[in-house]
Amino acid sequence: MGYDLKTKERRYCLECGEPLDYGDRSDKKFCSCGCRNSYHNKSHHNGRVIKHRVNAALERNHDVLGKLLRMGVTAMSLVDLAQMGFKPEYITSFIKRGTRTECHCYDMRYYMTPTRIFSLERSYLL
Ligand SMILES: [Zn+2]
């Protein structure tokens, strides 16, 4: 019992997993400056990966919407859009208009329901 309690209280370096000394400040998270640095370098790296992924998804969405407009299509189901690589959760902004949600992907503008988008148009006045 006492052992379990001690294990719970014991904290470990977020980078290398080494136990931190009991006497250390309670907010200490790393065993050394080296570990702190490599942990933060990695999380910056992760931030870049995430930004790259989001940007790629937005560009993909923009490409898909542009393709639709070139074909004269202004409404499509989310199922069909997904097959073209469109991910509805990636938008650059949205605005509530009454009960409708107007979504923007850069200069593209459309309304979205849980099942489809409609009134797709290119807008130069965002
Ligand atoms: Zn460490």
Q: How far is the CA of 10 from the centre of ligand 1 (A)?
A: 14
Q: How far is the CA of 39 from the centre of ligand 1 (A)?
A: 9
Q: How far is the CA of 49 from the centre of ligand 1 (A)?
A: 24
- String of b and e for 56-89 (b: at least 16 CB within 10 Å)? ebbebbbebbbebeeeeeeebebeebeeeebebe
Please report the pLDDT score of residue 2 as a whole number: 42
Per-residue pLDDT of the chain (126 residues; tens, 9 = 90+): 444 444 456 789 999 999 987 665 667 899 999 999 988 887 777 778 888 999 999 999 999 999 999 999 999 999 999 999 999 999 999 999 999 999 999 999 999 999 999 999 998 765
Q: How far is the CA of 14 from the centre of ligand 1 (A)?
A: 7
pTM beyond 0.85: the answer is no
How far is the C-alpha of 103 from the C-alpha of 94, rounded, in Å?
Answer: 4
Q: How far is the CA of 78 from the centre of ligand 1 (A)?
A: 47
Q: How far is the CA of 52 from the centre of ligand 1 (A)?
A: 29
Q: How far is the CA of 67 from the centre of ligand 1 (A)?
A: 51
Cα 51–Cα 61–Cα 106 angle in degrees, nearest 5: 75
Please report the pLDDT score of residue 4 as a whole number: 47
